[in-house]
Amino acid sequence: MNNEQLFTISVFTENQVGLLSRISTIFTRRGLNIESITASSSSMPGIHKITLTCRSTRAAMEKVVAQIEKCVEVLRAFLYTDDEIVHQEIALYKVPTDRLLDLKNLEEVIRIHNARILEITREYTVIEKAGHSDETEALYNLLKRYDIRQFVRSGRIAVTKSPTEHFTYFLEEQEKRRNKTEDL
C-alpha cells in the first residue's frame, strides 16, 4: 500500500437524482475515503460534472472508475494524477479584524499568498484564497496565530492538460450511435 497517491476523478453525468449517492457508495463499500468532492452543472446543457479526490493505489482507483462508469447515468469517468491536470480549490478565512490589524505586514501577506479580502467589518474580516491545498494550508498556518474563527475549503476542481478533449469526442461518438440506432 506504499504506492498510494492522490488521484482526481472527473465524472461526467446526466442530471439524475440519487446518482451522487450511488457513486459515493462505490467508495464506501471499498473502505475508500473521498478526500473532496465537487459537483455542479457543466458548460454543456444537461451534463453535470463531479470531481472527486481520493488517496489510494492506481489499481484500486482504476477499478473504482470502472464501477463509476458502470452506473447507467454516468457518461464518462476519467482518472488523473496531479501532473495531468490543472487543479484549484478555494478557501475562506474569517479572522477578527482587530487581531488582523496586529499583523504588521498585512499587505505583504495578501500579495505573497495571492489572497484577497472579501469583507471587512469592525468585528471580522473575510479573506479568500484560491490555490492548491498546500497553498491554502500555508495561509491557514499563518493566520491561525491571529485566531481564525471560521475556515472552509472547497473540493478540488480540475481541467486536463491534454490537448485533446476526450469527453467531447465521447459525446460525438454517442451521437453517431444514436443515429445508427435510429436507422435500424
Partner 1 sequence: MISGAEAILRSFLAEGTDTIFGYPGGAIMPFYDKLYDYTDRLRHILVRHEQGAIHAAQGYARASGRTGVVSVTSGPGATNVITGLSDALMDSTPIVVITGQVGVATLGTDAFQETDVVGIVQSISKWAFQIRRAEEIPAAVAKAFYIASTGRPGPVVLDITKDAQLGMMEWTGYQPVKYIRSYNPDPEINPADLADAAALLNSAERPLILAGHGITIARAEQQLTALAEKADIPVGATMLGLSAMPSDHPLFKGMLGMHGNIGPNYNTNKADVILAVGMRFDDRVTGDTSRYAPDAKIIHIDIDASELNKNIRATTTIHGDAGKVLNALLPLINQAGREEWLKSFDGPDKVEHETVVMREVFPQETVGVMRMGEVTRRISEATGNEAICVTDVGQNQMMGARYFKFTKPRSLITSGGLGTMGFCLPAAIGAKLACPGRNVIALMGDGGFQMTMQELGTIMENGIGVKIVIMNNNFLGNVRQWQELFFNSRFSATPMLNPDFVAIAAAYGIDGESVMSRDELDGAIGRMLATDRPYLLNVNIESTDMVFPMVAPGAAIDDIMLNVSTKYKPETHE
Please report whether residue 43 would count as binding partner 1 according to CB under 8 A: no
35 lies in the site for partner 1, by CB under 8 A: no
Among 3, 40, 105, 181, binds partner 1 (CB under 8 A): 181
The reply to whether 11 sits near partner 1 by the rule CB under 8 A is no
22, 99, 113, 153: which one binds partner 1 (CB under 8 A): 22
For 120: left if phi > 0, alpha if psi spans -120 to 50, otherwise beta; the answer is: beta
The C-alpha torsion from 158 through 67 and 166 to 34, rounded to 10°, is 0
**Span from 21-29, 93-101, 139-147, 154-162 in contact with partner 1 (CB under 8 A):** 21-29
Q: Which of residues 75-104 bind partner 1 (CB under 8 A)?
A: 75
Q: Is 121 in the site for partner 1 (CB under 8 A)?
A: no
Among 2, 3, 21, 164, binds partner 1 (CB under 8 A): 21
Cβ pair 74, 19 in contact under 8 A? yes
**C-alpha cell at position 123:** 468585528
How many chain residues bind partner 1 (CB under 8 A)? Answer: 26
Binding flag, residue 40, partner 1 (CB under 8 A): no
72 binds partner 1 (CB under 8 A): yes
- Among 49, 51, 57, smallest CA distance to 6 is for 57
Measured distance CA(167)–CA(177) in Å, rounded: 15
Strand partners, 53: 8, 36
Q: Are 104 and 74 in contact (CB under 8 A)?
A: no
Q: Decide if residue 30 touches partner 1 (CB under 8 A).
A: no
Q: Are 15 and 41 in contact (CB under 8 A)?
A: yes
**CB 73 to partner 1: min, Å:** 5
152: contact with partner 1 by CB under 8 A: no
**Torsion angle, CA of 156/51/167/76, rounded to 10 degrees?**
160
* 8 lines the binding site for partner 1 (CB under 8 A): no
Kindly list the residues in this chain that would bind partner 1 in the complex (CB under 8 A).
Answer: 13-14, 17-18, 21-22, 25-26, 29, 62-63, 66-67, 69-70, 72-75, 171, 174, 177-178, 181-182, 184
